[in-house]
């Protein structure tokens, strides 16, 4: 049932990846690539590194809207089908690089021919225009006529023929990147492994391809054994094959792999390992494991569409029920309209911070009051990674608006 729901969501396209009014739209380990709101009158406002919320946009003139731009972080998305920039542009030292109709990315401008390429970066190949030098501990290894890569010297003895013993990638899927363990090759002879960043290369059509190849488009859900998620992943976090699931490898890569077998031995393993431990997550959007708890005295309780937790089962006696409370983890939701705490409370060192009528959050006590910290002037920075001052604006008619993880600025209130 859950797998069918995920596939249905992915099939509806971009709009379903955006968040509803007053709900979470970004934060650490946020699964959706598009940080956006479904309602065009709402925008994704930064609260802290774990939470951003869809809240109403300020009412300002179109002229003001167009006059204020913000800088998209290096390696961030800057274009693509259905992508909305909201006046965002790449930095002065970067350019918006087109990869395909769904994704463009801010990358550094032209490379110096004398520059030494980092390990795992491209260093050669047909039509390649970048640097060709590798570090002293690396070698420029040729994989095929289109791609050479800086790899450690102790791994450079394996020639291209070693790819025959490794699995080649399907069309439009990942074929190389940092710590890539499979063959740097594509199954389709009309496709080639194209470098994107040090973390990602993908199988794309070779130049001068046939009209039939030209018409082929990347699927929203991924094919067997291909990439299905990872940093800046622009497509659906799902697999075309219903017998496969998207398994996490690292922050840059998840792969479509077979679901566990349903025989008795695997069923016993799932009951022990796939179910969640006490107080941990047991369900939520794109949750890949069992919706269950290992401890029979616990049950999977719904919090919101992104989170359910394994918590003690309710006692029949109301008095006993009230005597058992649990601690809401830091950065977790602790209040809001329609929210049910089930006797949950923030830790003593935290405070339940009110953000709006729909959402309150457990945050550290020392961050719950910005009065003793310096607030920012109009249109200046007021938050961002490692920001040392108050997340506030001196002008009461201005508020701190999130731009990206590195920058928030003081802008006029609604």
Supply the DSSP string of 136-184, one letter for each residue.
Answer: TTEEEEEEETTEEEEEEGGGTTS-GGGGGGSPPBPTTSEEE-TT--S-S
Going by their DSSP bridges, the two strands 200-205 and 191-197 should be labelled as: antiparallel
User: What is the pLDDT, as a whole number, of residue 225?
Assistant: 79
Residues 19 and 121 in one domain: no
Domain boundary among 53, 68, 83: 68
Q: List, for the chain, all residue ranges whose pLDDT scores fall below the cut of 70.
A: 1-16, 31-34, 59-67, 100, 110-114, 146, 156-166, 208-219, 231, 250-252, 261-273, 315-324, 368-373
Spatial CA neighbour of 84 closest among 21, 29, 14, 12: 14
Residues 226 and 112 in one domain: yes
User: What is the pLDDT, as a whole number, of residue 325?
Assistant: 78
- Could you tell me if 34 and 349 are in contact, meaning their C-beta atoms sit under 8 angstroms apart? no
- Could you tell me if 256 and 246 are in contact, meaning their C-beta atoms sit under 8 angstroms apart? yes
Residues 132 and 170 in one domain: yes
Residue 123: burial class (beta carbons within 10 Å; 0-12, 13-18, 19+):
buried
Residues 195 and 305 in one domain: no
Cα–Cα distance for residue pair 160/109, rounded to 1 Å? 31
Residues 120 and 108 in one domain: yes
User: What is the pLDDT, as a whole number, of residue 217?
Assistant: 45
Residues 194 and 224 in one domain: yes
Domain coverage including residue 57: 1-68
Cα–Cα distance for residue pair 19/54, rounded to 1 Å? 7
DSSP readout, 368-380? S--TTSPPBPTTS
Residues 92 and 227 in one domain: yes
Domain boundary among 14, 46, 68: 68
User: What is the pLDDT, as a whole number, of residue 197?
Assistant: 79
Residues 126 and 209 in one domain: yes
Dihedral in degrees, nearest 10, Cα atoms 103, 212, 191, 161: 160
Domain boundary among 24, 40, 68: 68
Name residue 95's beta-bridge partners: 107
Helix (H, G, I), strand (E, B) or coil at 320: helix
Tally of structural domains, the chain: 5
Residues 245 and 128 in one domain: yes
Residues 247 and 270 in one domain: no
**pLDDT, tens digit (0-9, with 9 covering 90-100), for 77-113:** 888 887 887 788 898 888 887 776 777 788 887 644 4
Residues 210 and 150 in one domain: yes
Take residue 334 and report the two structure tokens written for it: 């602790």
Residue 393: burial class (beta carbons within 10 Å; 0-12, 13-18, 19+):
buried
**pLDDT, tens digit (0-9, with 9 covering 90-100), for 385-400:** 777 777 788 888 888 8
Residues 360 and 411 in one domain: no
Burial code of 189-220, b = ≥16 C-beta within 10 A, e = fewer? eebbbbbbbbbbbbbbbeeeeeeeeeeeebbb
In which residue are the tokens 């309710």 written? 314
User: What is the pLDDT, as a whole number, of residue 260?
Assistant: 81
Cα–Cα distance for residue pair 65/85, rounded to 1 Å? 12
Take residue 311 and report the two structure tokens written for it: 């918590």
């Amino acid at each position: 049932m859950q797998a069918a729901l995920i596939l249905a969501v992915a099939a509806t396209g971009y709009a379903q990846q955006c968040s509803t009014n007053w709900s979470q739209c970004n934060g650490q380990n946020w699964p959706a690539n598009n940080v956006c709101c479904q309602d065009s009158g709402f925008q994704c406002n930064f609260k802290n590194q774990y939470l951003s919320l869809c809240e109403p946009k300020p009412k300002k003139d179109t002229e003001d809207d167009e006059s204020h731009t913000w800088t998209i972080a290096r390696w961030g998305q800057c274009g693509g089908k259905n992508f909305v920039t909201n006046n965002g542009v790449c930095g002065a030292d970067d350019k918006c690089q087109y990869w395909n109709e769904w994704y463009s990315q801010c990358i550094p401008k032209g490379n110096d021919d004398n520059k030494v390429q980092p390990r795992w970066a491209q260093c050669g190949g047909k039509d390649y225009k970048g640097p060709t030098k590798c570090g002293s501990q690396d070698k420029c290894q040729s994989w095929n006529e289109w791609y050479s890569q800086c790899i450690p010297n102790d791994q450079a003895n394996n020639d291209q023929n070693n790819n025959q013993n490794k699995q080649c990638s399907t069309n439009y899927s990942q074929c190389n990147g940092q710590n890539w363990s499979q063959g740097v090759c594509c199954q389709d002879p009309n496709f080639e492994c194209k470098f994107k960043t040090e973390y990602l290369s993908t199988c794309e059509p070779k130049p001068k391809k046939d009209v039939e190849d030209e018409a082929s488009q990347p699927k929203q859900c991924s094919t067997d054994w291909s990439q299905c998620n990872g940093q800046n992943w622009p497509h659906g976090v799902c697999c075309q094959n219903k017998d496969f699931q998207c398994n996490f490898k690292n922050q840059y890569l998840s792969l479509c792999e077979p679901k566990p077998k349903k025989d008795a031995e695997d069923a016993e393993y799932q009951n022990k390992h796939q179910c969640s431990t006490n107080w941990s997550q047991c369900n939520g959007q794109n949750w890949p494991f069992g919706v269950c708890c290992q401890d029979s005295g616990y049950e999977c309780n719904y919090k919101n569409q992104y989170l359910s937790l394994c918590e003690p089962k309710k006692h029949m006696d109301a008095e006993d029920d009230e005597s058992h409370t649990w601690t809401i983890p830091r950065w977790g939701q602790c209040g809001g309209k329609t929210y049910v705490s089930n006797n949950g409370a923030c830790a003593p060192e935290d405070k339940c911070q009110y953000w709006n009528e729909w959402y309150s959050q457990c945050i550290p006590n020392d961050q719950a009051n910005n009065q003793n910290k310096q607030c920012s002037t109009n249109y200046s920075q007021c938050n961002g990674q490692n920001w040392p001052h108050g997340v506030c604006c001196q002008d009461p008619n201005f508020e701190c608006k999130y731009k990206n993880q590195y920058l928030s600025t003081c802008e006029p209130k609604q």
